[in-house]
Amino acid sequence: MNFSKLQPLGWSNYFLQQMALADTLTENGPQPFRISAIYRSRIDAIGEDGEQTLMCPDHFLPVSQHIAVGDWVLARKRHEHLYIENILMAKNRIERYSGHEHQLIAANLDYLWIVTSANEDFNLKRLQRYLALAYEFSVEPVVILTKTDLGNKEAYLKQIRSLSISEVHGVCAHQVETLAPLSAYFHPGNTIALVGSSGVGKSTLVNLVSKGEQLTREIRSDDGKGKHTTTSRQLFFSEQQVAFIDTPGMRELQLPGAMEGIRQVFAEIDALAHECKFSDCRHDEEPGCAVQAAITNGSLSEEQFASYQKLLKEDAFLQRRDAGTYAMKQQQRAFAKMVNSHKKEKW
Ligand SMILES: Nc1nc2c(ncn2[C@@H]2O[C@H](COP(=O)(O)OP(=O)(O)OP(=O)(O)O)[C@@H](O)[C@H]2O)c(=O)[nH]1
Ligand SMILES: [Mg+2]
Ligand SMILES: [Zn+2]
């Protein structure tokens, strides 16, 4: 195996260690591949010798719940086909609830680009959800405001900066110079996933910065809403050896067990809660409630507090409904943290 060929694809010691632990570093052992696309009846991946199609055994079905684009897997050739044998533990994975199940979005990310456009589509509450997603799954969020030719850029940026996020950029597809600051995220071997509503310009942006050819389509001019053009998650590499994962626009984002992430988005409320007289204060009508006091003196807006409560309530509901999966996920995260702390360097 030539691991140096895998490094530009995002391979690192973290994965090599897992192969060693599982005793799969042998001459005739399985080979590592990075999942690049998952279709209804096909899984594409990239390995040492380029693109391959992988077969998925029944115990990893449904695929969307077991394997994410960006995952590393080990596969072995049998009867002319490559069969997936193991899914290597990811550094991180983001997922959401869709319908009644959790759905993997992308894995092994360095940055989550949360894309939103400077027009009527802009929604601060939705941004808070995306931020909670990033924090919960330990991926650094970057908010990118697109289509700055269409709206008051500074007014939108000011709203975004009111959230607990430092990495914010405004870009316009027709002014390439606005894209220059984004190159700060382009380190060889890095992976960046783009998420956001349909039509905000994710594929356009990724085309421009990677010089690739992802499909985009005309937007309906009357209501500014996009058509669903990107239909599946896809990973591809830019000239700078950065992996981009373009995703189809999400109509709604339901958070899966993201309490820690939500708390981080609303850090100021969390800090206030520590000042409440009772440690189990529900910030309702209890005496000595610092949160209610802040609302009364105007330092915390009622709307902000309502968003926080709404997200936590939704989160608690989903967690109760899905207690088993949640416990398993916590365990996996603890394991990933442990392995990470043993090996900090990239490769
Ligand atoms: N005015 C303006 N239009 C833009 C800009 N960026 C993208 N668009 C247009 O917005 C429309 C939608 O862009 P896409 O890149 O397909 O959007 P998307 O986020 O990938 O959409 P989905 O794949 O459906 O999730 C296209 O018609 C683009 O030309 C911009 O900076 N300014
Ligand atoms: Mg798209
Ligand atoms: Zn309180």
Q: How far, in Å, from the CA of 200 to the mean position of ligand 1?
A: 5
pLDDT band at 342 (very low <50, low <70, confident <90, very high): low
Q: Identify whether the C-beta of residue 127 lies closer than 8 Å to the C-beta of residue 307.
A: no
Dist CA 276 CA 33 (whole Å): 51
- Cβ of 146 below 6 Å from ligand 1: yes
Dist CA 96 CA 255 (whole Å): 5
- What backbone phi and psi angles, to 5 degrees, belong to 190? -75, 155
Mutation probe of ligand 1 site: the residue of 147, 216, 236 with most atoms within 8 A of C-beta = 216
Instruction: Reply yes or no on whether the pLDDT at 246 is more than 90.
Output: yes
Most confident of 190-199, 219-228, 326-335: 190-199
Q: What angle do CA 231, 156, 193 make, to 5 degrees?
A: 30
- Indicate the fold that domain 109-246 takes in CATH: Rossmann fold (3.40.50)
Strands (E), 152-247: 168-170, 191-195, 234-237, 243-246
Q: Which residues contact 85 (CB under 8 A, 6 or more apart)?
A: 30, 57, 73, 74, 75, 76
Q: How far, in Å, from the CA of 271 to the mean position of ligand 3?
A: 11
Ligand 1 atom nearest the C-alpha of 207 is 15
What average pLDDT does the segment 241-245 reach? 93
Q: Would you say 197 is a known binding-site residue?
A: yes
CA pseudo-torsion sign 161, 162, 165, 171: negative
Burial of residue 208 (number of CB atoms within 10 Å: 0-12, 13-18, 19+): middle
Dist CA 11 CA 175 (whole Å): 34
- Indicate the fold that domain 259-321 takes in CATH: Ribonucleotide Reductase Protein R1; domain 1 (1.10.40)
Instruction: Reply yes or no on whether the pLDDT at 17 is more than 70.
Output: yes
Q: How far, in Å, from the CA of 318 to the mean position of ligand 3?
A: 24
Read off the tokens for 25.
Answer: 């570093």
CATH 1.10.40.50 domain range(s) in the chain: 259-321
- Cβ of 170 below 6 Å from ligand 1: no
Q: Identify whether the C-beta of residue 246 lies closer than 8 Å to the C-beta of residue 46.
A: no
Q: Which of 13-22, 91-100, 295-304, 319-328 has the lowest mean pLDDT?
A: 319-328
Q: Would you say 204 is a known binding-site residue?
A: yes
CA pseudo-torsion sign 216, 221, 225, 228: negative
Where does 3-92 sit in CATH, by number?
2.40.50.140
Mutation probe of ligand 1 site: the residue of 105, 204, 252 with most atoms within 8 A of C-beta = 204
- Cβ of 217 below 6 Å from ligand 1: yes
CATH 2.40.50.140 domain range(s) in the chain: 3-92
What average pLDDT does the segment 316-343 reach? 66
Dist CA 220 CA 87 (whole Å): 41
What average pLDDT does the segment 289-299 reach? 95
Q: Would you say 149 is a known binding-site residue?
A: yes
CATH 3.40.50.300 domain range(s) in the chain: 109-246
Which of 287, 302, 296, 294 is CA-nearest to residue 271?
294
Q: Would you say 199 is a known binding-site residue?
A: yes
- Give the residue with greater pLDDT, 317 vs 247: 247
Instruction: Reply yes or no on whether the pLDDT at 330 is more than 90.
Output: no
Q: Would you say 200 is a known binding-site residue?
A: yes
